[in-house]
Amino acid sequence: METYTLFDILSKAAIIAAGLFAAIQLVHIKKQRSRESALQLLNSVQTPELIEAMNIVYGIPMGLTKGEIETHLSDKFPKVMHMHMQLESIGLLVFKKEIKLELVAEFMRGPILLFWGSMKNYFFETRRVNNDENYGEWVQWLAEQIEKKELKKTTKPAHIAYKNWKP
């Protein structure tokens, strides 16, 4: 075999090896980024402010009008709006594919659906009054995406599915 042919084979093999190495690194980076997103999401939802806001939202009756919500919440309204801003941010991050919808649904399915169910009339009326369809857009979008996912969900809840799990 000629030296030129040998170098040609070696250079092609090196290019292929480099390509494989790069692909493996990209998969590793993607997994690492996913883990970091999960930890960041966990940290963002485990703040005392958000936990307090969630407890307030759990006490909002469904179907209230904007005025009834404002009256019901009174001085607690800013705390609920803090939760709104958190959920808006999460919704946008899911849309931009910075965080996976599945991850958000696993962490916060209940609070997101409850928030939107309790507060949607507030957002609808505020949009109408201000002629601004953008107000609360990402929390609505996020809740709707989770609801769609729920319709397709066929797995059992973790406490049932993994009842016999052992570390």
Each residue of 104-147: pLDDT tens digit? 998 889 999 999 999 999 999 999 999 999 999 999 999 999 99
How do residues 67-103 score in pLDDT, each as one tens digit? 999 999 999 999 999 999 999 999 999 999 888 898 8
Q: Are 139 and 88 in contact (CB under 8 A)?
A: yes
Give yes or no for residue 150 having a pLDDT over 80. Answer: no
Q: Are 91 and 153 in contact (CB under 8 A)?
A: no
Residues 6 or more apart whose Cβ sits within 8 Å of residue 89 = 138
Q: What are the phi and psi torsion angles at 22 (to 5°)? A: -65, -40
Residues 6 or more apart whose Cβ sits within 8 Å of residue 137 = 88, 91
Assign 127 to helix, strand or coil.
helix
The confidence score (pLDDT) of residue 23 equals 85
The pTM of the full predicted model, rounded to 2 decimals, is 0.73
The C-alpha R_g of the chain, in whole angstroms, comes to 24
As a whole number, the mean pLDDT across the chain is 87
Of residues 161 and 154, more confidently modeled:
161
The confidence score (pLDDT) of residue 151 equals 58
Give yes or no for residue 1 having a pLDDT over 90. Answer: no
What is the separation of C-alpha 30 from the centre of its chain, rounded to a whole number of angstroms? 17
Across 52-123, the runs of DSSP E, i.e. the strands, are none
Which residue shows structure tokens 């309790």? 118
Of residues 21 and 46, more confidently modeled:
21
What is the separation of C-alpha 42 from the centre of its chain, rounded to a whole number of angstroms? 10
Reported confidence tier of residue 21, pLDDT bands at 50, 70, 90? confident
